[in-house]
Amino acid sequence: MLKQFTQLLSIQFKEFFREPGALFWSFIFPILMSFALGMAFSDKPEMSQHAAVVIPSTDSSFLKTYLSNNCSKSSSQKNEYQKSVDYKELGKTTTHFIPTTWKESEIMMKRGQIELILTENKGKINYHFDPANFTSRLAYIIVSGMMDGKNLVSTNSVIKPLQTKGTRYIDFLVPGLLAMGIMSSCLWGISYGLIEKRSKKLLRRLVATPMKKSLFMITMFISRFVFALLETVALLTFAYFVFDVTIQGSIIAFAAVIISGSFFFMGLSILLASRTANTQVGNGFISAITMPMMLLSGIFFSYSNFPDVMIPIIKYLPLTLFADSLRSIINEGFGIMDIIQPLLILTITGLTTFFIGLKIYKWY
Amino acid sequence: MTDTNTQPIVKAVNIKKTFKDVIALAGVDLEIMPSEYTALLGPNGAGKTTLVEIIEGIQKPDSGEITLFGKHWSGNKDELYKQIGLSFQETKFEDKLTAAETLKMFAAFYGLNDNRVEEILNIVNLQEKRKSYVVNLSGGQRQKLALGIALLNNPKLLILDEPTTGLDPTARREIWAILHELKKNHGTSMILTTHYMEEAENLCEKIVIIDKGKVLAKGTLEQLIADSKTSEIVQFKVLDKSTFPDFSKFKNLRETQWEDSTNVVTMSVDNTSAFLPEMVSYLNNAGCKISELRCRYVTLDDLFIRMTGRKLTD
């Protein structure tokens, strides 16, 4: 029995560590993501926006006069004008004005090359953009203010950038990446792995021996859990040394959430793999589960931007529960009792899906 | 006291199995005796794999009884799996494990140590590939690995489902050599499913011809030929079909088969030396010209076509 256990466990580790793709997606990718996004949002970057300007052929055009008198010619694009405004704490904002025709400007808008189209009618400037597009709305506020000669930063206010731990974007991002990494690792590692073994007819070969099926599952779980821990430690270590991210709450609570989150996704993986016959279908199932949660659960940006009617549903998505719990421990200093509800939900549903999956599991 | 050598290792009685509307097995009886190599011959969809999977305990029959070593699968799985060795069609082992690691994993299931793994690597001639990943093994080497896994527990019964399909003749003969050695030295019994007549003739003393879920014939090759009441074949090509005369009242001729696409005629005859001169003269008189005349003994292939109306590879 012990020999079976050690052999199966060693095989699980060998399979994982000999697959460069698995190593990359589990360890390197989350670190690269945190680095890229952390760096992108940690400095005051120069903001750049583009507007197409359709200048009328009349001599007395406000737009033509504005570009000639208030903007400089672009050094890189000879037909372009640009105007930069430095708002100190907000950083520098450069607006690029591209004189063109209406037809060309529409093409540029379709291609996402510009945020606004400016036209002129009876002495008034018309701003053409999709009001649902946040970037275009922001560009409209800045450009219209600039054209009206207004100072966009109130003279009666002072901007105080928050740089305390827990309030930065990287503090928001790291717990989300941890949760997403564990979800992906469990679903792709366990579910896809089992489905692949079934489609290769390896599962049926394994069970046509005196192998203990329970040991096979246990060793798969142990190995996946060890990988999840290694992923967590790798990302947290990186975030600590590069961005000074630390766990402000209870380490026990943090460990409990990692365990319950891993357990939930392991249970779900067994359920998904229980009957799926081939990897194409498995691929679809896993993507159908992971993609919506990655978009909705507030991994990269807060889910509060979604319509109010969706928020109560999003809050109870497993990945949201997992990521929010980690965030509250890392950033807000929560203890185990503060996150007991999501902890129980994840653990109980994980156990339920695990047992249902095992009950209906098809080895052949 | 019962003599164990006279008791069948495998006994299948009236096995029936249906998948939705398809009858895979329509009442099959089969007995495998100790040290007996048995070939299950049949075209695709004949029911061979379903039958071996029922014998292997992977599928349950809808009705009928199956026993191995006198025991049913229910409640005896671990015990029976310790006594049999299996190789399925198209099992793919983990790509990034070496041949030795794959064997060690399976050896652990039987409580065997690394010495047995080394023995198996020797038996299946994979010593030089012991550290090669499975993904880097050739088709023949992978089949040898699958055979090695089947042999790990020194099984009394070996069940191989098309172990040489897709292999080149050299690799096929290497596997045959291993199986011959096994029979000679260990007295193992074997059930083999195959598409290759040559394989069945070379390896197995007993042949079971199966088609559309039924056993059409079983016995040694000699018995099957004797049962067919003919042992000689005359074969030739007719150049102009319209000149071919009526042979229906010809002496010593049992059966004539036409292959329309090639104009090849195959005749089952009783006495070739007497039949042949008369046949040539008869054709000459009819003005029928022929080519590629051949005389040979009947083969398993001929019997199979006669019984099923199909070639084995169909």
Asked if residue A27 and residue A82 are part of one domain, the reply reads: no
Per DSSP bridges, beta strands B206-211 and B37-41 are parallel
What mean pLDDT do residues B35-39 have?
91
Asked if residue B116 and residue B56 are part of one domain, the reply reads: yes
* Percent of chain B with pLDDT strictly greater than 70: 96
* Percent of chain A with pLDDT strictly greater than 70: 96
Asked if residue B186 and residue B160 are part of one domain, the reply reads: yes
Task: Give the Å distances, CA to CA, from B214 to A193, B40, B253.
Answer: 38, 11, 29
Give the domain range for residue A293.
2-40+164-359
Per DSSP bridges, beta strands B189-194 and B37-41 are parallel
Asked if residue A58 and residue A31 are part of one domain, the reply reads: no
**How many domains does the structure of chain B reveal?**
2
Residue A129 lies in a domain: yes
Residues of B in contact with A209 (CB under 8 A): 81, 106, 109-110
Distance CA B86, CA B99 (A): 17
Asked if residue B288 and residue B173 are part of one domain, the reply reads: no
More confident of the two residues B278 and A122: B278
Residue A59 lies in a domain: yes
A241 vs B: CB within 8 A:
no
A214 vs B: CB within 8 A:
no
Task: Report long-range pairs for B226-231 (Cβ below 8 Å, ≥24 apart).
Answer: B228/B298, B228/B303, B228/B306, B229/B254, B230/B254, B230/B255, B230/B268, B230/B269, B230/B270, B230/B298, B231/B297, B231/B298
Asked if residue A268 and residue A226 are part of one domain, the reply reads: yes
- Binary contact (A200, B92; C-beta < 8 A): yes
Asked if residue B219 and residue B86 are part of one domain, the reply reads: yes
Q: Which of B105, B131, B133, B161 to mutate to test the interface with A (most CBs of A within 10 A)?
A: B105
Asked if residue A52 and residue A34 are part of one domain, the reply reads: no
Asked if residue A205 and residue A121 are part of one domain, the reply reads: no
Which CATH number goes with the domain that contains B23? 3.40.50.300
Whether pLDDT at A33 is above 90:
no
Residue A231 lies in a domain: yes
Amino acid A44: pLDDT = 58
Within 13 Å, how many C-alpha atoms sit on residue A342's CB side? 27
Residue B158 lies in a domain: yes
- Binary contact (B88, A14; C-beta < 8 A): no
What mean pLDDT do residues A46-58 have?
84
Task: Using pLDDT thresholds of 50, 70 and 90, give the confidence band for residue A43.
Answer: low
Asked if residue A253 and residue A195 are part of one domain, the reply reads: yes
Backbone angles phi, psi at A79, to 5 degrees: -90, -5
Asked if residue B240 and residue B212 are part of one domain, the reply reads: no
Task: Using pLDDT thresholds of 50, 70 and 90, give the confidence band for residue B314.
Answer: low
Residues of B in contact with A210 (CB under 8 A): 78, 81-82, 109-110
Query: What tokens appear for A306 in the block?
Result: 């979604």
What mean pLDDT do residues A330-334 have?
90
Boundary-marking domain end, from A115, A147, A179? A147
Asked if residue B102 and residue B11 are part of one domain, the reply reads: yes
More confident of the two residues B303 and B68: B68
Pure H helices in chain A: 2-17, 20-23, 29-42, 62-70, 102-110, 134-147, 169-186, 193-199, 202-207, 213-243, 251-273, 279-296, 311-315, 318-332, 340-359
Residues of A in contact with B86 (CB under 8 A): 205, 208
Nearest CA in chain B to A6: B108
Asked if residue B266 and residue B170 are part of one domain, the reply reads: no
Task: Using pLDDT thresholds of 50, 70 and 90, give the confidence band for residue B97.
Answer: very high
What three-state secondary structure class fits A120? strand
Whether pLDDT at B3 is above 60:
no
Amino acid B148: pLDDT = 94
Asked if residue B27 and residue B112 are part of one domain, the reply reads: yes
Nearest CA in chain B to A211: B109
Amino acid B136: pLDDT = 94
**How many domains does the structure of chain A reveal?**
2
Q: Which of A19, A205, A278 to mutate to test the interface with B (most CBs of B within 10 A)?
A: A205
Asked if residue B220 and residue B238 are part of one domain, the reply reads: no
Residue A111 lies in a domain: yes
Identity of the amino acid at B286: A
Residue A76 lies in a domain: yes
Asked if residue A66 and residue A175 are part of one domain, the reply reads: no
Lowest mean pLDDT among A63-77, B21-35, B74-88: A63-77
Asked if residue B118 and residue B51 are part of one domain, the reply reads: yes
Asked if residue A72 and residue A13 are part of one domain, the reply reads: no
Nearest CA in chain B to A20: B96
How far does the CA of residue A262 sit from the closest CA of chain B (Å)? 25
How far does the CA of residue A311 sit from the closest CA of chain B (Å)? 44
Residue A79 lies in a domain: yes
Asked if residue A80 and residue A170 are part of one domain, the reply reads: no
How far does the CA of residue B55 sit from the closest CA of chain A (Å)? 12
A362 vs B: CB within 8 A:
no
Check residue A18 and report its DSSP letter.
T
Amino acid B102: pLDDT = 95
A4 vs B: CB within 8 A:
yes
Query: What's the mean pLDDT when you consider all of chain B?
Result: 88
- Binary contact (A208, B96; C-beta < 8 A): no
- Binary contact (A364, B58; C-beta < 8 A): yes
Give the domain range for residue B270.
232-297
Asked if residue A339 and residue A228 are part of one domain, the reply reads: yes
Residue A228 lies in a domain: yes
Asked if residue B242 and residue B179 are part of one domain, the reply reads: no
- Binary contact (A11, B81; C-beta < 8 A): no
- Binary contact (A200, B97; C-beta < 8 A): no
Boundary-marking domain end, from A147, A179, A207? A147
Render pLDDT for A163-201 as a digit per residue (tens, 0 to 9). 677 778 888 899 999 999 999 888 888 898 899 899 888
Asked if residue A189 and residue A136 are part of one domain, the reply reads: no
Among partner residues B56, B109, B133, which is closest to A4 by beta-carbon distance? B109
Task: Using pLDDT thresholds of 50, 70 and 90, give the confidence band for residue B4.
Answer: low
Boundary-marking domain end, from A147, A173, A197? A147
- Binary contact (A208, B57; C-beta < 8 A): yes
What three-state secondary structure class fits A9? helix
* Percent of chain A with pLDDT strictly greater than 90: 37
Amino acid B1: pLDDT = 43
The DSSP secondary structure of A309-345, one letter per residue, reads: GGHHHHHTSHHHHHHHHHHHHHHH---GGGGHHHHHH
Residue A257 lies in a domain: yes
Asked if residue B238 and residue B217 are part of one domain, the reply reads: no
Which CATH number goes with the domain that contains B287? 3.30.70.100
Within 13 Å, how many C-alpha atoms sit on residue A66's CB side? 23
B interface residues, A as partner, C-beta within 8 Å: 56-59, 78, 81-82, 86, 88-94, 96-97, 101, 104-106, 108-111, 133, 149
Amino acid B2: pLDDT = 46
Per DSSP bridges, beta strands A47-53 and A116-121 are parallel
CB pairs under 8 A between A and B: 62
Per the rule left: phi > 0, alpha: psi between -120 and 50, beta: everything else, B220 is beta
Whether pLDDT at A280 is above 60:
yes
3-state SS record for chain B: CCCHHHCCCEEEEEEEEEECCEEEEEEEEEEECCCCEEEEECCCCCCHHHHHHHHCCCCCCCEEEEEECCECCCCCHHHHHHHEEEECCCCCCCCCCEHHHHHHHHHHHCCCCHHHHHHHHHHCCCHHHCCCEHHHCCHHHHHHHHHHHHHCCCCCEEEEECCCCCCCHHHHHHHHHHHHHHHHHHCCEEEEEECCHHHHHHHCCEEEEEECCEEEEEECHHHHHHHHCCCEEEEEEECCHHHCCCCCCCCCEEEEEEECCCCEEEEEECCHHHHHHHHHHHHHHHCCCEEEEEEEECCHHHHHHHHHCCCCCC
- The pTM assigned to this predicted structure is 0.77
- Binary contact (B58, A3; C-beta < 8 A): no
Residue B118 lies in a domain: yes
Amino acid A252: pLDDT = 95
Per DSSP bridges, beta strands B214-219 and B63-68 are unpaired
